[in-house]
Amino acid sequence: MLRLPFVLLANLLIGLRLLLGLPFRLMAVRQRPTWVRFRLTGNLPYRPRPGPRFRLGGTPVEPATVASLEDFGRALRTLAADPKVEGILLELENLTLADARRDALLTLISDFQAAGKRVVSWSVMVDTSAYPILGAADEVLLAPMGRVDLVGFAAEATVLGEAFGRVGIHAHFARRGDYKTAPELFTDGTVSDVQRQTLETFLDERYAVLVDAIARDRGKTPEEARALIDAGPYSAKRALEAGLVDGLVHEADLGAHLGLESKKKAAHDDETPVPTFSAYLATQPFPPVRWRRLRRKPRLAVVDVAGIIVPGSGGSGRFAAADTVVKALRQAARDPRSKAVVLAVASPGGSALASEQMLEAVKRVAKQKPVIAYVDKVCASGGYMAAIGAKEIWSAPHAVVGSIGIFQGKFEYGDLLDKLGVRSTTVTRGQNAAFGSGSRGFTPHERAALEREVEEGYQTFLELVAQARGRTKEEIHQLAEGRVYSGLRAKDAGLVDRIGGFEEVCRYAMDEARVSSEDFEIHRFGRGARSRLSLLKLLAAAAHPTSYAFCTTAWGLWGFGTTEPID
């Protein structure tokens, strides 16, 4: 009941503001724009990122900038319902969308076009990843000085074994699984055939999607689309000649190109700006209003597993600390408003101990509320172990999934110490007492213990996955040994349940909780200060007594090395 007077007061103020602005909006009705401009930049989050209510100082945000995919979708639905609106202008600037978010953005654009509206896109420069967004428009424009860096995709595998040897560091690892290539980053002097084959598989899938997009959007055959990619990059003139864009227009001339006229244009000003969505709302007598609700919306909890999995607690983003994630899961379970949980996994794995801690915590929450795991980039090794505790696993089509395997080892830096003039003597009691010593490698007895522990860990991993996926250990073993899959191939292999986007997962989770998925809010648990990535932490995580990890650090493949939280 304490909420009632505050809700009534808030709605009264909203209504008063709406009423006071009505005369001005009525006067502006005749100036309602027929075209609306949006600026797409960066890696758009699914939902608006939390921020300060009042911003003092700092760089101002360009008014047309889209804050999130949710905001953009809401705006497009409003414009699609207005018969006076002809279309939208999309300005692309440094757009760096992950695959799943690009697919979600393309769906929003396609739905708007299906409502009979036009989409015109414009940019100064786009790369291979952003071109499908530019090309999805009904009319594609480029600045006369612009570029289309359409060149295809490249993957670069890295190994450090020889470099480490030159400075006196030697990596000693045992692994279970021929496809568990993570230790190769530290041990090998050349890229293995398995690494190369895995990279080529992902490149083939991604390249096929690009070819299909160009062929569909630009009216080309697949062979012509591949020829266009091979002829890149393009200057603006060559892009126009090749049919990758439909026209070259300066930014100041975009309004005139769309047929807009400025009624208050100064005599010395020949620019006709394209209105923003905020300007459009100012011409609506009764614009969409978010009234405060007496009863709060049902809540969906989102818990991130983002970064290399490590024991203990700490920041988010680069490292997923077990204690932090477990605490967040417990908070989500206790929260009475949270009806379901989405476990947002963006992790290549890490410590076996920490991964199993997370798995047990996920299982406990899943006994109380529906838990759905979702991956839009990487859900590998220990990250996949955490995900299998959920009721279902959803994946973006081209995310990295799997890498069921294990490795364990240490770094020997005795030669480096010798070069530096550092001398040490190790005295032990017990044959394996210096198992973790970095001053020397493994003795035969220690190596046998290492191999035994790695095998035991691998069998445990197989058992846990088999139980979760309703399969036998033998069946999982045929899919495991460190093999990695795209989301689509993981679905065919039975390692994930569904292919979809973040918003679809959220709605499905609420449906599973028997709560309306039409209107709910998302609350993130465990999002804290971000920890910095350091080589020391990376090496320590990779050499943890037992590690379930897929080493994205060794891949330069469309940003798969990034493990940003899903937001």
Catalytic residue numbers read 180, 381
d(CA 146, CA 253): 15
How many Cα atoms within 13 Å fall on the side-chain side of residue 127? 12
Give φ, ψ of 487 to 5 degrees.
-55, -40
Neighbours of 539 (CB within 10 A): 15
Structure tokens at 98: 């992950």
C-alpha 405, offset from chain centre: 24
| Cα 351-451-179 angle, rounded to 5 deg | 65
* Both tokens assigned to 345: 């996994």
DSSP letters, 394-421, are EE-TT-EEE---EEEEEEE-HHHHHHTT
Contact in structure between 406 and 454 (CB atoms under 8 Å): yes
Q: Helix (H, G, I), strand (E, B), or coil: what is residue 498? A: strand
Cα torsion through 239, 242, 246, 249, rounded to 10: 30
* Distance spanning both ends of the chain, measured CA to CA: 33
Q: For the purposes of burial, counting CB atoms within 10 Å of the CB of 230, is it exposed (0-12), middle (13-18) or buried (19 or more)?
A: exposed
The answer to whether the CB of 541 falls within 8 A of the CB of 145 is no
Alpha-helical segments (H) within 443-524: 444-469, 473-479, 487-493, 502-512
347 forms beta bridges with 379
Q: How many CB atoms lie within 10 A of CB 505?
A: 28
C-alpha dihedral over 371, 377, 381, 382, to 10 degrees?
-50
Tokens encoding 468:
């979760």
For residue 243, give the amino acid letter: G
